[in-house]
Amino acid sequence: MSKLNFAIIGCGRIAERHAKHIQGMANLVSVCDINKDKADMLARKYNCNSLYRIDDLLCQKNNIDVVSICTPNGLHAEHTVKSLKAGCHVLCEKPMAIRVKDCGNMIIEAEKSNKKLFIVKQNRFNPPVVALKKIMDENRLGEITNFQINCFWNRNEEYYRDSNWKGKKDMDGGTLFTQFSHFIDLLYWIVGDVKNVYPILRNQQHQGMMEFEDSGAVAIELETGAIGTLNYNVNSYKKNMEGSITLFGENGTVKVGGQYLNTLEYQFIDGFEIAGLPESSPANDYGAYQGSMSNHDKVYENVIEVLTNNGAVTTSGYEGLKTVEIIEKIYKSVL
């Protein structure tokens, strides 16, 4: 069977990660960015076409099976819908969008076009996260009564100064969208849906750099009755400190932590022990800062398996929407 043909829209830092894995598993046909230098640089490195207008890229739709959306958050919905209408499957970077309404439009268009819509949630593939999901599915912890999510990272002045969209409300959306949507996804995926939220949000160290909060403390009640907290900030001194989720159940307690949900920090489970975990992938390294775990290879393996061998989608459009819905609920609940 011939390899799938991919195109990338948006040639920023994360696009490099996408291009690397596409090249190893499929064909990268074209890249597109309004910044000609970025598009040309990525195209030269991966020996593909560079274009500067999305409409020009999508005119080649007969040569493109999948479009990977790597543009700023606020453009994900527009670019996804255009690509679906052009007859392409879409892999959209996180967050799916920054409004629930836009997520709904993306899902509707995928259904109308009879095309697949994949959402990047690479932290689902971290070995400790995989193990935690498995023991939850097996009900080894019993009823979850409490949980704690900690996200303490660093984003300095340079991070916002050197970007034309990060820190901007209309394109970035907020710290929960750009930095910590993965953690919201894992709460929903592993533990359950959110019923009520009680947030306190502040901009404490990034005045003049961003148009929203740099830190938050959120009390959360799940539909299951479990209660917990989400504590987050991008104010950790000089470097990322912690990204963790802790579950307290009737029959055990487990904490997956480290800087990027990459370490099984604590476990005490009745009659069971998580053992033999493979080593986690390194974090996405952007020089001045690091992002989430680099599992985009697993994301692309799933896309290809679904489209060539009728596999199951790892993260659906609906699950992407639920993450945005929970974040939107937090932001709308701020007094």
**What averages of pLDDT result for each successive group of 10 residues across the chain (335 residues)?**
92 96 95 98 97 93 91 98 97 98 98 98 96 98 98 97 96 98 97 98 98 98 98 97 98 96 97 92 56 80 97 95 98 89
Tokens of 6: 């991919």
| Cβ–Cβ under 8 Å, residues 152 and 227 | no
Is domain 5-119 classified as CATH 3.40.50.720? yes
Nearest partner of 220 among 124, 146, 320, judged by Cα: 146
Query: Thinking of the domain 123-293, which architecture would CATH place it in?
Result: 2-Layer Sandwich (3.30)
**Whole-angstrom Cα distance, residue 32 to residue 15?**
10
pLDDT of residue 2: 82
Query: Among 131, 103, 129, 128, which Cα is nearest to 117's?
Result: 103
Q: Are the beta carbons of 11 and 71 closer than 8 angstroms?
A: no
Determine the Cα angle at 174 with ends 317 and 209, to 5°.
150
- Rg of the Cα trace of the chain? 20
Amino acid at 203: N
Torsion-angle region of 27 (φ positive above 0: left; ψ -120 to 50: alpha; else: beta): beta
Residue spans in the chain of domains classed CATH 3.30.360.10? 123-293
The pLDDT of residue 282:
65
Name beta bridge partners: 220: 197, 228
Token pair listed for 75: 């453009």
**Token digits of residue 122:** 């690479």
Name the residue type at position 305.
Answer: E
Is residue 102 within a helix (H) or strand (E), and if so which, with residue range? helix 100-113
What span, in angstroms and rounded, lies between the C-alpha atoms of 269 and 144?
13
Residues of the chain by 3-state class (helix, strand, coil), percent to 5: 35, 25, 35
| Residues 211 and 217 sit within 8 Å (Cβ to Cβ) | no
Coil/strand/helix, residue 113? helix
Domain with CATH 3.40.50.720 in the chain: 5-119
The residues that bridge with 252 in the sheet, in sequence order, are: 249, 269
pLDDT the model gives residue 189: 97
pLDDT for residue 283: 57
Burial (CB count within 10 angstroms: exposed 0-12, middle 13-18, buried 19+), residue 321: buried
Instruction: Indicate the residue type of 75.
Output: L
Sheet of strand 252-257: strand arrangement: 194-202, 215-222, 227-233, 144-152, 242-249, 252-257, 263-269
Q: Looking at residue 60, what is its pLDDT?
A: 75
